[in-house]
A = this chain, B = another copy of it.
Amino acid sequence: MEPSNTHVPTPDGSMADLRDHLRRGDHARISEGCKPSAEIMALVGEKWTVIVVVMLSGGPRRFKELQRMIPGVSQRMLTLTLRGLERDGLVARTVFPTVPPRVDYALTELGESLRAPVLALGTWARENRAQIEAARDRYDRAAERAAPRAAGPDEVR
């Protein structure tokens, strides 16, 4: 990564490339002054970041601990997620040169500060879940009626 100069994703399809760049890691300074939101949304929405942040809310955790707390995550994904968070300065990684090795992950100040907005979103989710599900249900039923797809309405693959 060269800190030398800014390179906007592209004059035209900026958002597409934005996300693209976000995934890859060269967030450089894509936001020409007004789209840092997109960065954080990518940060928050993508992957397991949120869950990890939440899981670290209670204090430092070890790798295996986290993995156990987040059933579906593969060690690879957990590693990648933690790396990303560490890179962004949201999580601090502490290695104890013991044997067997021990590594603690903890939220940094920055990470802690992210908790609030994230939890706010979580709260919103909890509070409005019913409405959302109702809406979905309504929408799906309507769609079904419109779609003469002989398939069962409750198809469970």
Contact = CB atoms under 8 A, between A and B. Distances in A.
Given A3-B57, A44-B41, A58-B6, A110 B132 contact: yes
Nearest to A42: B45
A69 B14 CA distance: 12
Contact of A15 (B13, B72, B122): B72
A59 interface: yes
Given A55-B5, A153-B2, A125 B37 contact: yes
A71 B121 contact: no
A77 to B, nearest CB: 9
A117 to B, nearest CB: 5
A17 B157 CA distance: 13
B87 A40 contact: no
A46 B19 CA distance: 10
Given A1-B58, A25-B140, A37-B126, 10 more contacts: A1-B59, A1-B137, A2-B58, A3-B137, A14-B71, A38-B50, A39-B125, A39-B132, A41-B50, A44-B44
